[in-house]
């Protein structure tokens, strides 16, 4: 039996395009000699559809699309994911399901049993868990079909009380197929391979796993579909961050060594780079926009975002706005201009001194007798925000936010100023990782000026200002933040690792106090195991301090 894995980029709710794309790949798989082609979890509607699932018309369009797809399954079968109605009144109204289609008919339906409700997942909000399991017979082989999380209950600390494969194995299947919507983070590919390999070894069956690719607002899917033999050995690893369709012969997977090539393994920073490129591209393409604007300060954060945007959208579609203040150094402006010249994007220079002075004059009476402080710094940042939003409104640009994760974590940013934007490009990238990204972007030649990389970070909102005036050094700050945010450790556990007690308490207090700011930031492209946004939900007025 020849099995095609179709790793595609879907668009949530775009039934016409999703259906057309699936049908095109059915034809492609058929032309390549496949007996069955496998598509991803909720492929018909896109993942995650969230509250679209509460609209009856949305479910009806999924069903109509599935029946249109079925018409094209002549001389080839397919497996495709979609939400379906639960006919039983008790319980949730829907199942997360997969259709097995053969000879134009829906021959079998598999429903997802294990519904994740952690991090970015919220499936039990919508779906009823499956409790009945049945293998699928096709061309003399018995298929144990599961959906994503159904294979993830195999570690030392299981989240669920049952395993679908423990039931399906009783029916003596010949192979496993798992369809998934498994989001990217730079640590997830190795975990994914290990979990799937453990399943193949435990049940002593070959495993065919298909993931989707593409970004849906902040969530990025990296593809990397996989094939394992019954010993758990990886026999094939498909492309990352791009669409792919490959056909595998079941007998060769079981018996032939080195038949199918594996994808090249790359560094974490290379993965983050590719993920952010894809995230930017899909945010614009799926939103119907083509042009971006950002504030370019001469600092490393905006330089990296500008470089990524130019790679994702084309330099001709990126507008960099330099907005020097009376405190901006000449080298900052020159560094920004060097980047513009290196990369070839459009740019404007709009000084904010007049605007900031105007606000100072307007507020002179109520502020009389009070010394300048953070207020005047924030006014400058908000002047820049007004300019960028004006450029966005006038020319139809989408504003890219350039705040990094370290800043987001401790609230080192100005609401309605440098924190504004439609999408946060590096809001899940710590400052030290931003430096690594800059070096990676420059690996084939200088794009980001060397001075931008090596000079001390500064907001340049007061004389001789440096980030280190307000924050711990980034190499220490990022380590503490990682322990707290990604590893969910409180102050006591972090201090026990040797970090200074006062420093840890100060950092964690800043994280807690900045929660109200993060509620008002744009969606952030998710590249880490724990990103700000839908995957990290904290109360704003909570009393508890970790």
Annotated binding site: 118, 182, 295-302, 378, 402, 407, 517
Written as one string, the DSSP assignment of 172-235 is --SEEEEE---B--TTHHHHHHHHHHHHHHHHT--EEEE--EEEETTEEEEB--EEE-TTS-EE
Q: Which 3 state secondary structure label does DSSP give 138?
A: strand
What are the C-alpha distances in Å from 482 to residues 204, 436, 454, 490, 507?
38, 16, 23, 11, 12
Decide: helix, strand or coil at residue 83. strand
> What count of other Cβ atoms lies within 10 Å of the Cβ of residue 218?
24
510-to-228, 396, 538 alpha-carbon distances in Å: 46, 36, 14
∠ CA 213-217-223, nearest 5°, is 10
User: Is 202 labeled as catalytic in the residue annotation?
Assistant: no
Tell me the residue ranges of DSSP E strands in 291-349: 292-295, 318-322, 346-349
Torsion from C-alpha of 522, 524, 529, 535, nearest 10 degrees: 30
Instruction: Give the position of tokens 């492929």.
Output: 43
Is 148 part of the annotated catalytic residue set?
yes
C-alpha to C-alpha distance for 425 and 428, rounded to whole angstroms: 8
Exactly one of 2, 111, 112, 235 is catalytic; which is it? Answer: 112
Q: How far apart are CA 294 and CA 302, in angstroms?
A: 8
Whether 112 is catalytic = yes
Among 218, 276, 309, CA closest to 12: 218
The single residue of 41, 123, 128, 377 carrying the catalytic annotation is 41
Are 280 and 303 in contact by the 8 Å Cβ rule? The answer is no
Which residues fall within 8 angstroms of residue 281, CB to CB, at 6 or more apart?
215, 312, 313
Token readout for 22 is: 């699936």
Cα–Cα distance for residue pair 363/367, rounded to 1 Å:
6
What count of other Cβ atoms lies within 10 Å of the Cβ of residue 393?
Answer: 10
Enumerate the active-site residues. 41, 112, 148
């Amino acid at each position: 039996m020849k099995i095609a894995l179709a790793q595609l980029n879907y668009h949530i709710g775009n039934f016409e395009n999703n259906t057309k794309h699936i049908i095109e790949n059915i034809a492609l798989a058929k032309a390549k000699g496949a007996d069955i082609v496998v598509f991803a979890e909720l492929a018909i509607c896109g993942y995650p559809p969230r509250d679209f699932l509460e609209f009856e018309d949305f479910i009806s369009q999924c069903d109509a699309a599935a029946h249109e797809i079925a018409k094209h399954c002549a001389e080839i079968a397919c497996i495709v994911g979609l939400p379906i109605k639960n006919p039983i009144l008790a319980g949730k109204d829907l199942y997360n399901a997969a259709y097995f289609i053969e000879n134009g008919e829906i021959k079998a339906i598999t429903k997802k049993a294990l519904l994740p409700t952690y991090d970015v997942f919220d499936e039990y909000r919508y779906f009823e868990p499956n409790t009945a399991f049945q293998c699928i017979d096709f061309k003399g082989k018995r298929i144990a079909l599961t959906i994503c999380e159904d294979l993830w209950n195999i570690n030392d600390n299981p989240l669920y009380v049952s395993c679908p494969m423990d039931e399906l194995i009783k029916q003596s299947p010949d192979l496993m197929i798992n369809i998934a919507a498994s989001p990217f983070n730079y640590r997830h590919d190795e975990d994914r391979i290990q979990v799937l390999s453990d399943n193949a070894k435990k049940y002593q069956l070959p495993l065919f796993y298909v993931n989707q690719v593409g970004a849906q607002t902040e969530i990025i899917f990296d593809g990397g579909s996989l094939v394992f033999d019954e010993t758990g050995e990886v026999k094939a690893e498909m492309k990352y961050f791009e669409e792919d369709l490959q056909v595998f012969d079941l007998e060769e997977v079981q018996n032939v060594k080195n038949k199918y090539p594996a994808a090249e393994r790359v560094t974490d920073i290379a993965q983050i780079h590719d993920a952010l490129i894809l995230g930017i591209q899909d945010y614009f393409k799926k939103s119907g926009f083509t042009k971006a604007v950002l504030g370019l300060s001469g600092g490393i954060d905006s330089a990296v975002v500008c470089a990524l945007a130019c790679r994702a959208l084309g330099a001709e579609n990126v507008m960099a706005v330099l907005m020097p203040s009376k405190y901006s150094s000449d080298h900052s402006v020159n560094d920004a201009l060097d980047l513009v010249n290196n990369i070839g994007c459009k740019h404007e220079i709009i000084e904010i001194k007049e605007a900031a002075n105007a606000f100072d004059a307007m507020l002179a009476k109520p502020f009389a007798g009070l010394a300048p402080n953070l207020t005047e710094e924030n006014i400058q940042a908000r002047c820049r925000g007004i300019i960028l939003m004006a450029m966005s409104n006038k020319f139809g640009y989408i504003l890219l936010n350039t705040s990094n994760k370290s800043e987001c974590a401790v609230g080192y940013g100005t609401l309605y100023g440098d924190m504004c934007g439609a999408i946060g490009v590096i809001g899940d990238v710590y400052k030290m990782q931003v430096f690594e990204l800059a070096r990676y972007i420059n690996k084939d030649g200088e794009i980001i000026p060397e001075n931008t990389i090596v000079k001390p970070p500064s907001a340049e909102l007061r004389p001789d200002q440096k980030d280190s005036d307000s924050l711990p050094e980034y190499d220490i700050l990022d380590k503490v933040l990682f322990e707290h945010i990604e590893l969910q450790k409180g102050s006591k556990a972090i201090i026990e690792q040797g970090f200074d007690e006062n420093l840890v308490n100060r950092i964690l207090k800043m994280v807690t106090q900045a929660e109200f700011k993060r509620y008002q930031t744009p969606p952030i492209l998710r590249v880490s195991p724990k990103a700000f946004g839908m995957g990290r939900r904290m109360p704003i007025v909570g009393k508890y301090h970790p």
